[in-house]
Chain A
Amino acid sequence: GAVVSQHPSWVICKSGTSVKIECRSLDFQATTMFWYRQFPKQSLMLMATSNEGSKATYEQGVEKDKFLINHASLTLSTLTVTSAHPEDSSFYICSAEGRNQETQYFGPGTRLLVL
């Protein structure tokens, strides 16, 4: 089956620093990658969608200058949380979809704690 990895699995950082999270599709080419945010005991909230080689499409209410997304290749997308603050602490999950696929395959998630 399709495998998606994320790195790191967890990160603790100081307020004001930036954090980069990587999402990789290991055994297929991901033409589209999605970034979600999940708070405890809540559903997944789509933050943005990125297609390889083009700018990401952000959902309403998501600051594109704060959450920088790069989808430079068909197997890698990165999410950078800039100038992180405690309210950015959350579980960030990526998913990937291949060409002509209907199914999104999810990564294991990255837990971010901003002190």
Chain B
Amino acid sequence: GENVEQHPSTLSVQEGDSAVIKCTYSDSASNYFPWYKQELGKGPQLIIDIRSNVGEKKDQRIAVTLNKTAKHFSLHITETQPEDSAVYFCAASISVKTSYDKVIFGPGTSLSVIP
């Protein structure tokens, strides 16, 4: 089955700097990669996603890149702000529109943005 690894497990950056979180997946059939942000005591919130037919996607300060050959995908947050502090989870799934998708989550990265 699919296995998702995520690094680093913790990350501290100064406000205004960039943060990068990297993930790898094992199943080459995975074709959908969402990223979730989870604040303390709350459920995960989808922040960006990318499909396997796209190499990069950007939404304001957040960008995600995907290298299908290497089975790597990364989250980039620029101009970090204190409110970006949270736990970030990458995930991978095999998206089949006629069926539900089992999403496999990475172990998470705790991001702290220091004012």
The interface of chain B, by Cβ under 8 A from chain A, is 32, 34, 36, 41-46, 49, 51, 89, 93, 95, 97, 100-103, 105-108, 110
Determine the interface band of chain A, counting residues with CB < 8 A from chain B: 20 to 34
The interface of chain A, by Cβ under 8 A from chain B, is 4, 6, 31-32, 34, 41-44, 46, 49, 51, 93, 95, 97, 100, 102-109, 111
Contact pick for B46, options A44, A93, A105, CB 8 Å:
A105
Given contacts A32-B100, A104-B103, contact A43 B89 (CB under 8 A): yes
Separation of A44 and B45 alpha carbons in the complex (Å): 13
Interface of A is mostly: strand
- CB proximity of A53 to chain B, nearest CB, Å: 14
Residues on the A chain within 8 Å of B95, using CB? 102
Separation of A34 and B100 alpha carbons in the complex (Å): 10
- CB proximity of B73 to chain A, nearest CB, Å: 15
